[in-house]
Structure 1
Amino acid sequence: MIAERVRKCAGVAGLSGGPFGTVATYLPNERFVGVSVDGRAVEIAIVATLARPLPETADEVRRAVADLAGDRPVNVRVEDIIVEGP
């Protein structure tokens, strides 16, 4: 559910596992890349576009998942940037 909300945010091209694929949530028979949740924080690693300033994209991501994060801080990492267009 967090990943779905993040993908809908303006300026987000996708999710990233980070340089070593460590940003992920593991469930039985499933692995969600780009989102890591534990008792202390929610970590989200994105691939951004230059459609808007990166801080605005990160703020929108935080707002989009705030109700799912509870009291945990939401840390947004920009792992890569895609330049769209010709």
Structure 2
Amino acid sequence: MTGPAATRSTTPGPTTDEAQAIAERARACSGVAKLSGGPFGTVATYLPGRRLTGVSADEHTVEIAIVATLTRPLPETADEVRRAVADLAGGRSVHVRIDDIVSDPREGS
């Protein structure tokens, strides 16, 4: 299946490619160990055949939930994530939520 229907989630949000790009950019930021689904797994984008944990979006907001490391100040990590995905957010505000902190960056892998 191809076309817009194949790449859109059931609620207003990013296309499959946009959601994946947001997740990849967020994971690549310094101080991010991994993405998080939140305490109840609610931070996610539903894609065809799978669920992308850590990125959720609607028509107004993109929410990214992360597990951060102690390699840098937490506000700097959140700011870097926000800047890294700003062009993919399509004018929506970007909220970065730190759900957990690990002392060893390898714990996020």
TM-score, scaled to structure 2: 0.76
- Secondary structure, aligned partner of 1:17: coil
CA–CA distance in structure 2, aligned partners of residues 70 and 52 of structure 1 = 28
Question: What's the counterpart of residue 49 of structure 2?
Answer: 29
| Match runs of 1:1-86 below 5 Å | 1-84=21-104
Give the partner amino acid of 2:101. I
Greater length-normalized contact order (CA 8 Å, ≥ 6 residues apart): 1
Q: Which aligned runs of 4 or more in structure 1 are off by greater than 3 angstroms?
A: none
Q: How many residue pairs end up in the alignment?
A: 85
The structure in which a higher percent of residues are helix is 2
| Matched letter for residue 20 of structure 1 | F
**1:84 Cα deviation (Å)?**
1.6
Mapped to 1, the partners of 2:49 and 2:59 lie a distance apart of 21
**Unaligned residue ranges in structure 2 (runs of 5+):** 1-20
Deviations 1:2-34 (A, max 9, x none): 110011100000000000000000022121000
How many angstroms does 1:60 deviate by? 0.1
The structure carrying a bigger strand percent of its residues is: 1
When Rg is computed on C-alpha atoms for both structures, the one with the higher figure is 2
Question: C-alpha separation between the residues in 2 aligned to 1:30 and 1:69?
Answer: 21
What do the CA deviations read for 1:43-66 (whole angstroms, capped 9, x no partner)? 000000010000000000000000
* Cα RMSD after superposing both structures: 1.0
Structure 1 gaps of 5+ residues are none
